[in-house]
Amino acid sequence: MHSKPTWFARFAQQIARVTGRPIAFTLAVLAILVWGATGPLFGFSDTWQLVINTATTIITFIMVFVIQNTQNRDTIAMQIKLDELIRVTQSANNELLDLEELDDRTLEALRQDYERMAQEIPHHHARRRGKKSPKR
């Protein structure tokens, strides 16, 4: 039932871990400072300016991964909390504890299963049509 993540998913996760560290940001800032300091040496030429354009593109690319790393960390923390709630709930389906490790196709199949289950709940249909569900 569990499929191994794609090579790209593993690669992106590793890059996010590396670039999400403070040293990566420090190195990016240091590179900009070095570039600025070398301006007079190169007469503020077009080539010198092209260097900053390239550098800022790289920094922007890195920042995407920094942001992704933050989101990953938040998602993992939330997932652990949800996993604990599922684990301690006796009627919960424990197979749901590691959904984040599944491939997209398996996740979509599970989503469709739960959508189908939701459609089978009588009050779900009434709520969707704007009617109030009967009180229990």
Q: What are 98-129's pLDDT values in tens digits?
A: 777 888 898 888 889 888 888 888 765 555 55
Listed by start position, the domains of the chain span 7-101
How high is the pLDDT of residue 136? 42
- Mean pLDDT of the 74-99 span: 79
Residues in Cβ contact with 16 at an 8 Å cutoff, skipping those fewer than 6 apart:
65, 66, 68, 69, 72
Residues in Cβ contact with 101 at an 8 Å cutoff, skipping those fewer than 6 apart:
2, 5
How high is the pLDDT of residue 7? 75
The number of beta carbons lying within 10 Å of the beta carbon of residue 106 is 14
What residue type is 36 in one-letter code? G
